[in-house]
Amino acid sequence: MLLARRNNLFDDFFNDPFFTNSIQSRQTLMKTDIEDDGTNYVIDMELPGYKKEDVRAELKDGYLTVFAEMKSSKEETDEKKNFIRKERYSGSCKRSFYVGTKLRQEDIKASFDNGILKLSFPKEAPKLLDESHSITIE
C-alpha cells in the first residue's frame, strides 16, 4: 500500500503543469511543412517567440540544419525591491534535413517573417560542396 502511494505522489508530481507544459511546448517547436512545387522544395518552419537574430541555417555534408536559440529574463520585485520572483530561460533547438551533397549554399533562399522561417532550394543542384557555410536569412 505504501508503494502505491509513492507512485501516486510521483505521478502527481510529474503531471504538474510545470513539467507537462514544457513537454507540450517542446512538441510544438519547429513544426515544419515541406512542399514540392515542381522545381523547388519549400520548407516552412514555425519558430514562435524567436527573432530573426535567434535563428541560423547551415549547409554541411549534404545536411541543411536550422538552429534556434533564445535567452530571456523576467524579474518582479515588491516596493522595497525584494525579489518576489526572478526567472531566467535559455533554450535552443535544431533540426536537420538531408538535401544531398550537390546543393550549394547559394542555391538556398531563406527568409524569416512573423516567426516563420521559409527555406527554398532547387530539387536538382549542379555542383558538389564539401565545406560548411552559413545561409543568410533575409
Instruction: State pLDDT tens for residues 31-69.
Output: 999 999 999 999 999 998 889 999 999 999 999 999 999
Same domain, 36 and 92: yes
Same domain, 40 and 56: yes
- Using alpha carbons, select from 60, 87, 67, 66 the residue that is nearest to residue 75: 87
Same domain, 68 and 117: yes
Residues 6+ apart with CB under 8 A from 129: 59, 101, 102, 103, 104, 105
- Full-prediction pTM beyond 0.85? no
Same domain, 2 and 53: no
Same domain, 87 and 126: yes
Question: Which pLDDT value is given to residue 25?
Answer: 46
**Total Cβ atoms within 10 A of residue 94:** 12
Same domain, 2 and 35: no
Question: Which pLDDT value is given to residue 22?
Answer: 45
**Which amino acid is located at 114 in the chain?**
N
Same domain, 64 and 83: yes
Same domain, 25 and 38: no
Among all chains, which residue has been given the C-alpha cell 511546448? 25
- What region does 119 belong to: left with phi over 0, alpha with psi -120 to 50, or beta? beta
What is the CATH classification number for the domain harbouring 101?
Answer: 2.60.40.790
Same domain, 39 and 80: yes
Instruction: State pLDDT tens for residues 69-128.
Output: 988 777 777 777 777 677 777 888 999 999 988 888 999 999 999 999 999 999 886 655
Question: HEC profile for 36-85?
Answer: ECCCEEEEEEECCCCCHHHEEEEEECCEEEEEEEEEEEEEEECCCCCEEE
Same domain, 23 and 46: no
Same domain, 108 and 75: yes
Same domain, 80 and 70: yes
- What is the tally of structural domains in the chain? 2
Mean pLDDT confidence for 5-10: 46
The domain of 6 spans 1-29
Residues 6+ apart with CB under 8 A from 102: 124, 125, 126, 127, 128, 129
